[in-house]
Amino acid sequence: MDNYKSNKKPEKEDVHESRRDFLKTSSLLTAIAVTPATISKAAAYNLGEKISAAFETMPVNLTVNGVKKQLAVEPRSTLLDVLREQLDLTGTKKGCDYGQCGACTVHVDGQRVLSCLSLAVMQQGKQVTTIEGIANGDELHPMQKAFIKHDGFQCGYCTPGQIMSGIACINEGHAESKEDIREFMSGNICRCGAYPNIVKAIQEVKNGGQKS
Partner 1 sequence: MIQFQYERALTAKAALAALGNSSNARFIAGGTNLVDLMKRNVMAPAKLVDISMLPLKDISQQNGKTIIGALALNSQVADHKLILEKHPLLSMALNAGASAQIRNMATVGGNIMQRTRCSYFYDTALPCNKRQPGSGCGALEGANRMHAIFGTSNQCIAVHPSDMCIALVALDAVVVVAGPKGERRIPFGEFHRLPGTQPEKDNTLQINELIISVEIPDNGFDKNTHYYKVRDRASYAFALVSVAAALSMDGRVIREARLAMGGVAHKPWRLTEAEKSLSGKTATEENFRQAAEIAMQGAKAYKHNAFKLKLGPNVIVEALKNAAGIV
- Contact residues toward partner 1 (CB under 8 A) are 1-2, 26, 29-30, 33-34, 36, 39, 49, 52-53, 56, 58, 74-76, 78, 97-99, 102, 105, 111-114, 117-119, 121-122, 124, 165, 168-169, 172, 174, 182-188
Q: In this complex, which beta carbon is closest to partner 1, that of residue 58 or of residue 140?
A: 58
Mention every residue, 6+ apart, whose C-beta is less than 8 A from residue 97: 2, 80, 104, 116
Q: In this complex, which beta carbon is closest to partner 1, that of residue 121 or of residue 198?
A: 121
Q: In this complex, which beta carbon is closest to partner 1, that of residue 109 or of residue 151?
A: 109
User: Among residues 167, 158, 148, which one has the least CA distance to residue 190?
Assistant: 158
Task: Report d(CA 24, CA 30) in Å as an integer.
Answer: 10
Q: At what angle do helices 159-171 and 195-207 cross, to 10 degrees?
A: 40
CB of 42 to partner 1, least distance (A): 9
CB of 168 to partner 1, least distance (A): 7
Segment (H or E) for 174: none
Q: In this complex, which beta carbon is closest to partner 1, that of residue 60 or of residue 64?
A: 60
Which residue intervals of the chain are DSSP H helices? 19-34, 37-44, 49-55, 79-81, 142-149, 159-171, 178-184, 195-207
Residues 162 and 156 sit within 8 Å (Cβ to Cβ): no
Residue type, 59: P
Q: In this complex, which beta carbon is closest to partner 1, that of residue 27 or of residue 207?
A: 27
Backbone dihedral region of 151: left (phi > 0), alpha (psi from -120 to 50 degrees) or beta?
left
CB of 189 to partner 1, least distance (A): 8
CB of 14 to partner 1, least distance (A): 25
Query: Computed over its alpha carbons, how large is the radius of gyration of the chain?
Result: 19
CB of 4 to partner 1, least distance (A): 13
Q: In this complex, which beta carbon is closest to partner 1, that of residue 15 or of residue 33?
A: 33
CB of 10 to partner 1, least distance (A): 18
Q: End-to-end distance of the chain based on CA atoms, in angstroms?
A: 36
